[in-house]
Amino acid sequence: MAMLAVENLHVSYGHVHALKGITFELKEGEILALLGANGAGKSTTLRAISGLVAPRAGRILFAGKDLGKVPAHEIVRMGVAHAPEGRRVFATLTVEENLILGGYSRGRDRKGLEETRRQVYELFPRLYERRRQLAGTLSGGEQQMLSIGRALMAAPRLLLLDEPSLGLAPLLVREIFQTIKEINARGVTILLVEQNARAALRLAHRGVVLEAGRMVLAGSARELLGDERVKKAYLGEK
């Protein structure tokens, strides 16, 4: 059984039909890259999975359970964490408070939370140095680390990452991708939305390409890296 199954997903914002029937699966332990141009519907797909927008049609199954009527705050409890587009750290809260809220869904599991927080600080030592600082005063890269670290605090089985490399310097991008690989190696399944298609496909096992709310391509990362259409449209090759 797939960990996540998205079946014929449709989402609308008012009369904007953002997703027009998307179907894909994610197996346990996998990294799936979700690619596409601006406005293709990548973020919307993630928002539908984590319950921030309601599907108009179709189903989303997580570990066999239909998420259709489950509110967002319950979906985290089931094991899906979402580091949203634009980081969305709580700017006037400290780094540590942001992490505490990341673990909010785990209730009073003090020991477990303490342990996860230690792991997050180990993964991102810079967050530890800045733990008493207000999140809004962090640099863009640090905010991205906080956003990912905060999602990890939920101890998710599935991690949704929306453009983690956006706006970061190349060196930092490499660092973030390395960290994503490490998180995956620790057993977290990852759905990775990226504009940076090449880097994402190097990391991912498989990829899915969206175009204007429809799925146009799907395959192994290697296939997609070699695909002429992908090369032309997303890898900037001729």
* Binding residues vs another protein (CB under 8 A): 50-52, 71-74, 76-77, 81-82, 84, 88, 90-93, 97, 100-102, 104-106, 136, 150-151, 154
The distance of closest approach from Cβ of residue 234 to another protein in the complex, given in angstroms and rounded to an integer, is 27
Residue 228 carries which side chain, given as an amino acid letter?
E
* Closest CA relative to residue 221, chosen from 237, 199, 236, 238: 199
Contact call for residue 44 and ligand ATP (CB under 6 A): yes
Q: Are 147 and 168 in contact (CB under 8 A)?
A: no
Instruction: Report, in Å, the least distance between residue 132 CB and ligand ATP.
Output: 32
150 binds ligand ATP (CB under 6 A): no
Tokens of 81: 């964490």
Task: Give the whole-angstrom CA distance, residue 3 versus residue 8.
Answer: 17
**# residues contacting Mg ion (CB under 5 A):** 2
Q: β-pairing, 80-83 with 158-162?
A: parallel
For residue 109, the number of C-alpha atoms closer than 13 Å in the C-beta half-sphere is: 15
For ligand ATP, the closer of residues 23 and 195 by Cβ is 195
Q: Residue 73: which of ligand ATP, another protein, Mg ion, none does it interact with, CB under 5 to 8 A by kind? A: another protein
Q: Quick one: which of 221, 225, 237, 209 has its CA closest to 36?
A: 209
Comparison of 120 and 199: residue with beta carbon closer to Mg ion: 199
Q: Does 42 bind ligand ATP (CB under 6 A)?
A: yes
Span interacting with Mg ion, options 55-63, 81-89, 90-98, 222-230, rule CB under 5 A? 81-89
User: Interface with ligand ATP includes 87 (CB under 6 A)?
Assistant: no
Considering only 4, 6, 18, 35, the residue that binds ligand ATP (CB under 6 A) is 18
Q: Which stretch binds ligand ATP (CB under 6 A): 35-43, 104-112, 113-121, 181-189?
A: 35-43
41 binds, among another protein, ligand ATP, Mg ion, none (CB under 5 to 8 A by kind): ligand ATP
Closer CB to Mg ion, 38 or 228, in the complex: 38
Cβ burial of 62 (10 Å; 0-12, 13-18, 19+) is buried
Quick one: which of 37, 51, 114 has its CA closest to 80? 51
Query: Residue 162 is encoded by which pair of tokens?
Result: 């929306």
User: Which is nearer to another protein, 35 or 154 (by Cβ)?
Assistant: 154
The residue type at 193? V
**Dihedral over alpha carbons 24, 187, 190, 50 (to 10 degrees):** 90
Contact residues: ligand ATP, CB under 6 A: 13, 16, 18, 36, 38-44, 85, 195
